[in-house]
Amino acid sequence: MLEEMENTLTDMIESGSSAPDLFTFNSVTGAYGSSGQQDKMEKWYAEFLLIGLRPDIKTFNILIRSYEKAGVYGKIK
């Protein structure tokens, strides 16, 4: 399921016909974070920043919960 999400998201970005928004940003980071895939969560977080999206309080809460769940307390700043 996450692979399908990533393929769709990549298609959205590459086609230029449909740009991801903040809801997409939070959904993708949340999906990867809650599944324990912090590496993918961080990859997409960086990608969203590159395309001009900016995180909101929900985004930061998603990141904090994901790192906490994984026991990666050093990344919670």
Centre a 10 Å sphere on the Cβ of residue 30 and count the other Cβ atoms it contains.
18
Domain that residue 29 falls in: 25-71
Within-domain flag for 34: yes
Centre a 10 Å sphere on the Cβ of residue 65 and count the other Cβ atoms it contains.
14
Within-domain flag for 61: yes
Within-domain flag for 5: no
pTM of the model: 0.86
Contact 34, 69 (CB under 8 A): yes
How many domains in the chain?
1
Within-domain flag for 15: no
Tens digits of per-residue pLDDT, 32-76?
999 999 999 999 999 999 999 999 999 999 999 999 999 988 888
Within-domain flag for 11: no
